[in-house]
A and B are shown apart, each in its own frame.
Chain A
Amino acid sequence: MIQRYRASAGIMLAPAVTLIGIFILVPMMLTVWLSFQDWSTQTPFASASFIGLDNFREIFGPTSIGRDFKAALANTAIYTALSVVLILPLSVAFGLMVYQHDVPGGTALRTALFSTYMVPMIAVALVWSKLYAPGEGPLNQMLGIIGIGPQPFLSSPRSALISIVFLNVWQQVGYFTVLAIAGLTQIPGSLYEAAKLDGANRFEQFRFITLPLMRRTLLFSAVIAIINAVQVFEPVALITQGGPVGSTSVLTYHIRRVGIERAQGGLGSAMAVMLMLSLIVVVCALFALANRKDQE
């Protein structure tokens, strides 16, 4: 009986497992395998030759390959951290604002917030590149009205990456606000009524009811925000080309340059593997932290 049950379960799972295997696991394993090879992306896989850990030594080494990779890794980490740190609190704040049923215009605000997420990144990048334009750019003109001199935004290595982060936050915050609202709807109203009876003020209600009960939603939002941020590509490719001085060179853009433009498939794969490992470590650490909190 159990055997028959296992066989039927296996048959039913087979299509999904096969598809996942072909379209997810095989490319991942192939990338890992290529990271140990010397291989040009323009040649067949058969031409790849095994070189052990040389690609990894190279990307962490002192040459320009190593320096550029480490800089791109650091830029990606900064971009991701800043994006998450800005998006999550803002999404909760906006979520709390638009979740109030009795606030007039709540639906319009919700629609406006979410609409930024529907705009294609290419349009966002083009518009923001003009907003940030030095001299005649609208942002600099507005700053000029309040007596602040023109800012270089995308033209300075100090501010270029942060300027790209703001662009990302502007586009993504609406989507995460929707997630925050979904989390807020899961909190029973009776908890707030009981807290009110106990004399809790608004801040205490937020601190001891809203925030703890939104932990799962926030964990999910953080994971999605990290994955989205790590994959940033379009604004860099369209606006800054990784510059100035490599200050906006993020890993996806750099891997494309190495793996496709220079056809260094082995090196590009080693970089992609490091990106994947970094992402796995960060996401696992987040889940571990959340589990520890749950156990407490």
Chain B
Amino acid sequence: MSFAWTSKLALAASLAILPVTSWAQAVNISYLTHWSPETVALLEAAAKDYAKTNPDVSVTVRAVPFGDLLTTLRSQGGGSDGPTIGGIYDLWLPELARDKLVAPAPDAVASEVKASWPAGVASAASVGGKLYGIPNEIDVYALNYNKALFKQAGIAAAPKTWDEFKDAAKKLTNKDAGQQGFGMINSWAAGVVHPFASLLVSNGGELVRDGKPALDSKQAGETFELYEELIKSGASVPAMATADANTTGPFLDNFVSGKTGMIIMANWWESALRTGMGDKFADIATAPIPVGPSGDKPHSISYSWMTVVNANAGEAEQKAAWDFLAWLNNPKSGKNGASAMSDILMSMGILPSRTSDIEAHKDKLGSDFLSGYVSVLADAKPFPVVPGGQEFSESLQQTLEALQYGQVSAKDVQATAQADATSILERAAK
């Protein structure tokens, strides 16, 4: 056979094999998140870094508003074409795992998570002893207040007790200037329930005890009454605190424009506050949740987020997804011993949960704004992760909003909230 013929045959064979081998190795995975375009760009940059050592894996990032995240996961996660990776709120995990929408983590990933994350955070990513996701962020609630408004109202320090809190809210209220003392959010389930739950735990109460709702306690009654008092006194104006699908809207607008003196909010709002306030962000300070009459010391609510893998994705996609997530959360993927994921989170003011990430970001976590959150983390109580948790949150949101808008009394709200929660959690547990 001549050299020319040999070359032609070799070329033909190579061409015939090339598409097959490249198709067999190339894996496309998609990552569903609710992050803003700026943060999505950081994740895309991290995916590009990963592709340098893993050229056969391509990661596509897709973002939807927070309000649509669970629906998208539920409606598209049931098929192999749905998102391969999803960022989820820990409250959703029990039901997503029950419905087999998320895959258990491989042993190597599970061991790494158990060794490198605080036990409480790792347990929030587990159902029935099986780990389903790699935790990334931890969020905790604290009191945010506007120092400039405090100065104008003659308030020297952040309130430490509910009495001081009510007094400060009253002093900060100026109806003529359209200014409210305390912003009580509505139209967003977690936004409504988490601040309430933070005040409740700071008053010695709990939302759920041993899997059963505990909203009929004395501590819960006092918390409902606190809400009623703030509304009746005019220190909280519900119409100034509406949120939209992107968790922005009048609630955020009124705080950043200095029309609201205090709010109870999580650390991840730092980027929204910075963007909205510019230089005036320096006026914002953080303090622990005021302690109620039945509480012993400041507590607040914490919750975590994690990344999970679609149980219906192909084997190669699942393998690539876990590998990418393991890299993304590894201390070598970011800067100065931090993971790439933690660098992305810190860009939004979100606390990373991996122990080595907290160490690596020690300086930034010591900033005026974030240090207030870091300081309350130790005494924070995790938001109860139970089957039916999302429905429970939405139901409590409705009853709290009815109280905020003066449609029902604190006493009636307490009875309704407890009855609804009991029926929801019992049904979900079946």
Q: Which residues of A contact B245 (CB under 8 A)?
A: 237-239, 241
Is the beta-carbon distance between B242 and A155 smaller than 8 angstroms? Answer: yes
Partner of A241, one of B187, B241, B253, B405: B187
Q: Which residue of chain B lies nearest to A158 when distances are taken between CB atoms in the complex? A: B405
Identify the interface centre among A40, A63, A239, A244: most chain B CB within 10 Å of its CB. A244
Smallest Cβ-Cβ distance to A44: which chain B residue: B78
The 8 Å CB contact of A64, one of B101, B250, B405, B423, is: B423
Collect the chain A residues with CB atoms within 8 Å of residue B186's CB. 243-245
Given contacts A157-B405, A241-B67, A241-B244, contact A134 B423 (CB under 8 A): no
Q: Is the CB of B71 within 8 A of A260?
A: yes
Roughly how many angstroms separate A200 CA and B242 CA in the complex, as a whole number?
A: 54
Given A42-B101, A261-B71, A155–B238 Cβ distance below 8 Å? yes
Give chain A residues whose Cβ lies under 8 Å from the Cβ of B95.
Answer: 262-263
Q: How far, in angstroms, from A257 to B394 measured CA to CA in the complex?
A: 10
Query: Quick check: is A183 within 8 A (CB to CB) of the other chain?
Result: no
Taking CB atoms, residues of chain A closer than 8 Å to B407 are 157, 245
Question: CA A134 – CA B249 in complex, angstroms?
Answer: 10
CA distance in complex: A156, B75 (Å): 32
Whether B240 contacts A155 by the Cβ 8 Å rule is yes
Question: Which residues does chain A contribute within 8 Å of B323, judged by CB atoms?
Answer: none
* B74 touching A261, Cβ below 8 Å: yes
Q: How far is the CA of A254 from the CA of B307 in the complex (A)?
A: 27
| Distance in angstroms between the alpha carbons of A15 and B402 in the assembled complex | 53
Residue contact B67 to A244, C-beta cutoff 8 Å: no
CA distance A263 to B74 in the complex (A): 8
The size bracket of the interface on A is 20 to 34
Q: Verify B78–A42 contact, CB threshold 8 A.
A: yes
**Which residues of chain A are near B404, meaning CB under 8 Å?**
244-245
- A236-255 interface bits toward B, Cβ cutoff 8 Å, 1 = contact, 0 = none: 01111111111000000000
Which residue from A63, A244, A246, A262 sits with its C-beta under 8 Å from B390? A262
Closest to B70 in A: A261
Are A63 and B420 neighbours in the complex by a CB distance under 8 Å? yes
Contact partners of B337 in chain A: CB under 8 A: none
Name the residue of chain A whose CB is nearest to the CB of B101: A42
- What residues of chain A lie closer than 8 Å to B322, measured between beta carbons? none
User: Does A43 sit at the interface, judged by CB under 8 A?
Assistant: yes
B100 touches A42 (CB 8 A): yes
Known: A134-B240, A135-B178, A155-B239. A245 touches B253 (CB 8 A): no
A237 to B66, CA, bound (A): 12
B188 near A241 with CB under 8 A, answer yes
A70 within 8 A of B: no
Kindly state whether residue B139 has any CB partner on chain A within 8 Å: no
- Determine whether B161 belongs to the interface, using a CB cutoff of 8 Å to chain A: no
Please, what's the 1-or-0 string for B95-136, where 1 marks a CB less than 8 Å from any CB in chain A?
100011100000000000000000000000000000000000
Interface residues of B in 376-430 (CB under 8 A from A): 390-391, 394-395, 398, 401-402, 404-405, 407, 419-420, 423-424
Q: Mark out the residues of chain A between 46 and 88 whose CB falls within 8 Å of any chain B CB in the assembled complex.
A: 63-64, 68
Asked, given contacts A42-B100, A246-B398, A263-B95, whether A64 binds B424 with beta carbons under 8 Å apart, the answer is yes
User: Contacts of B187 on A, CB cut-off 8 Å?
Assistant: 240-244
CB distance from A189 to the nearest CB of B (A): 51
Q: Are A134 and B390 in contact (CB under 8 A)?
A: no
Residue of B nearest to A40 (CB): B99
Q: Chain A residues near B99: list those with CB within 8 A.
A: 40, 42-43, 263
A260 and B74: CB pair below 8 A?
Answer: yes
**Across-interface contacts of B238 in A (CB, < 8 A):** 155-156, 244
**Interface bits B228-264 vs A (CB < 8 Å: 1, else 0):** 0000000000111111110000100110010100000
In the assembled complex, the Cα of A129 lies from the Cα of B242 at a distance in Å of 12
Given the interface contacts A42-B99, A63-B420, A135-B178, does A244 sit within 8 Å of B250 by beta carbon? no
Within 8 A of B (CB), among A135-158: 135, 150, 152, 154-157
With both chains docked as a complex, state the minimum distance between the C-beta of B250 and any C-beta of chain A, in angstroms: 5
Q: Per-residue 0/1 for A108-121: is the Cβ within 8 Å of any B Cβ (1 yes, 0 no)?
A: 00000000000000
Chain B residues within an 8 Å CB radius of A245:
186, 398, 401-402, 404-405, 407
Among A43, A64, A263, the residue within 8 A (CB) of B398 is A64
User: Is there a chain B Cβ closer than 8 Å to A41's Cβ?
Assistant: yes
Distance of B35 from chain A, by nearest CB (Å): 19
**A133 contacts partner chain B, Cβ-Cβ < 8 Å:** yes
Q: Which residues of A contact B74 (CB under 8 A)?
A: 41-42, 260-261, 263
Of the candidates A43, A154, A263, which one forms a contact with B242 in the assembled complex, judged by CB atoms under 8 Å apart?
Answer: A154
Q: Encode contact with B along A122-134: 1 for CB under 8 Å, 0 otherwise.
A: 0000000100011
Report Cα–Cα, A240/B186, bound state, in Å. Answer: 10
**Min CB–CB distance A257 → chain B (angstroms):** 8
Max count, chain B CB within 10 A of own CB: residue among A129, A239, A240, A241: A241
Given contacts A63-B420, A155-B250, A261-B74, whether A129 and B101 have CB atoms under 8 Å apart is no
CA distance A134 to B252 in the complex (A): 12
A237 (CB) vs chain B CBs: closest residue? B245
**What is the CA–CA distance of A245 and B101 in the complex, to the nearest angstrom?**
31
B61-91 residues at the A interface, CB under 8 angstroms? 67-68, 70-71, 74-75, 78
A-B residue pairs, 8 tightest by C-beta: A243-B187, A42-B99, A152-B239, A155-B239, A64-B420, A245-B401, A155-B242, A64-B395
A sample of 29 cross-chain residue pairs with beta-carbon separation below 8 angstroms, ordered by A number, consists of A41-B74, A42-B78, A43-B99, A63-B420, A64-B398, A64-B420, A133-B253, A135-B178, A135-B253, A135-B257, A135-B259, A150-B178, A152-B239, A154-B242, A155-B239, A155-B240, A239-B245, A240-B244, A241-B188, A242-B187, A243-B188, A243-B401, A244-B186, A244-B238, A245-B407, A246-B398, A261-B390, A262-B391, A263-B74
Q: Which residues of A contact B (CB under 8 A)?
A: 40-43, 63-64, 68, 129, 133-135, 150, 152, 154-157, 237-246, 256-257, 260-263
